[in-house]
Amino acid sequence: MIITVTLNPAIDMAYELDTLQLDSTNRIKKVEKTAGGKGLNVSRVLHQIGDDMMALGFAGGHTGKAIVEQLTDLGIQNDFTTIDGETRNCISVMHDGQQTELLEKGPTISQSEQNEFINTFIKHAQHADVIVLSGSLSDGLPTNFYAQLLERVSQHKVVVDTSNQALLECLKGAVKPFAIKPNLDELSHLFNRKVEITELPTLLVENEWLKEIPLVCVSLGGDGAMVKYNHNVYRVRIPKITVVSPTGSGDSVVAGLASGLQRGYAIEEWLQHAMVLGMLNAQQSKTGYVNLDNYNDLKEKITVEKIG
Ligand code: ADP
């Protein structure tokens, strides 16, 4: 089983307008409301590809209840820790060919809520092989919260997809993640300088933090990925596709990495599996959705070359 963790989920509201009139009333023609947050995108993709999984996180108030209901309606197993605060709404407005985002910060998690979550996490981890920790931390959680969770499940394979201080704490922590999936921006933030594709083959095997992580998958959008697995470096190239919305593609790759790990795929098939899910998500307007009809066609066009 795969466990996903979403500490700061949201109800994502996508509004569609022809034109956004500032300082005026805008009547919305089309609204879509989905349970959002990186870990929930991962969960939906895992569920669609038929992998056994359980979604954990914090949920509170009406929005929290709506998230849990939506997951349950989709048939996604979940056990969210109930909190006093209200889970956030995030609004994205498509207008004038642009996308404007209004993101609430989310609730503050108390110490007793943290303790309750950790107990739930440890309970379910006993039945899991792979764990996915993704997204930012909610207010009230220490920046080493993911690093603390890693220490509680040192026998498990954990995929971490986060950024900034939360990622740094995991890389420096006593128990390392099994896999991480930064993009170039996230790596650049980590190293406080612009990281280029050309330096990745050396950086991935020589950097003191990265070399300790068995699988580092640097996703490169339409350019595929550069991956380090143990001591080898692989260049993953993908075919050109028509992109509808790449939002959530990184999360879909994370779902593929966790799934391939759970299924015991060899590295080539594992990376093809992860990339194809990212691409299938990019071909959809919805976030964290994949149409598996095109899976085989696309997969055989993805090449994995060992370059170091
Ligand atoms: P993130 O959302 O984390 O920044 P990326 O943008 O690197 O992640 O995208 C993750 C994966 O999704 C890519 O490795 C690729 O498989 C797929 N993908 C994203 N954008 C495109 C695109 N424009 N064309 C084809 N595939 C894409």
Separation between Cα atoms, residue 133 and residue 114, nearest integer Å: 15
pLDDT tens string, the chain, 308 residues long: the values are 999 999 999 999 989 899 999 999 999 988 888 999 999 999 999 999 999 999 999 999 999 999 999 999 999 999 999 999 999 999 989 899 888 999 999 999 999 999 999 999 999 999 999 999 999 999 999 999 999 999 999 999 999 999 999 999 999 999 999 999 999 999 999 999 999 999 999 999 999 999 999 999 999 999 999 999 999 999 999 999 999 989 899 999 999 999 999 999 999 999 999 999 999 999 998 899 999 999 999 999 999 999 98
Residue 179 CB less than 6 A away from ligand 1 = no
Residue 308 CB less than 6 A away from ligand 1 = no
- CA dihedral sign of residues 181, 266, 43, 298: positive
Closest CA to 245 of 275, 290, 294, 285: 285
Return the H-helix or E-strand segment holding 205.
helix 200-206
Collapsed DSSP state (helix, strand, coil) of residue 31: strand
Residue 299 CB less than 6 A away from ligand 1 = no
Q: Is the pTM here over 0.85, yes or no?
A: yes
Neighbours of 142 (CB within 10 A): 13
Task: Please tell me the distance between residue 186's alpha carbon and the centre of ligand 1 in angstroms.
Answer: 14
- Edge-to-edge strand order for the sheet containing 30-36? 30-36, 10-16, 88-95, 98-103
Residue 253 CB less than 6 A away from ligand 1 = yes
Q: What pLDDT, on a 0 to 100 scale, did the predictor assign at position 40?
A: 97
Regarding beta strands 215-219 and 130-134, do their DSSP bridges make them parallel or antiparallel, or are they unpaired? unpaired
Q: Please tell me the residue having the least CA distance from ligand 1 atom 25.
A: 222
Cβ contact 222:236 at 8 Å? no
Q: Please tell me the residue having the least CA distance from ligand 1 atom 3.
A: 250
Q: What pLDDT, on a 0 to 100 scale, did the predictor assign at position 285?
A: 86
Residue 301 CB less than 6 A away from ligand 1 = no
Q: Please tell me the residue having the least CA distance from ligand 1 atom 24.
A: 222
Q: What is the DSSP letter of 139?
A: B
Task: Please tell me the distance between residue 46's alpha carbon and the centre of ligand 1 in angstroms.
Answer: 17
- Per residue, the 3-state secondary structure of 81-98, as one string, reads EEECCCCEEEEEEEECCE
Q: Pick left, alpha or beta for residue 284 (phi over 0 → left; psi -120 to 50 → alpha; otherwise beta).
A: beta
Active-site residue list: 251
Cβ contact 153:123 at 8 Å? no
Return the H-helix or E-strand segment holding 41.
helix 38-48
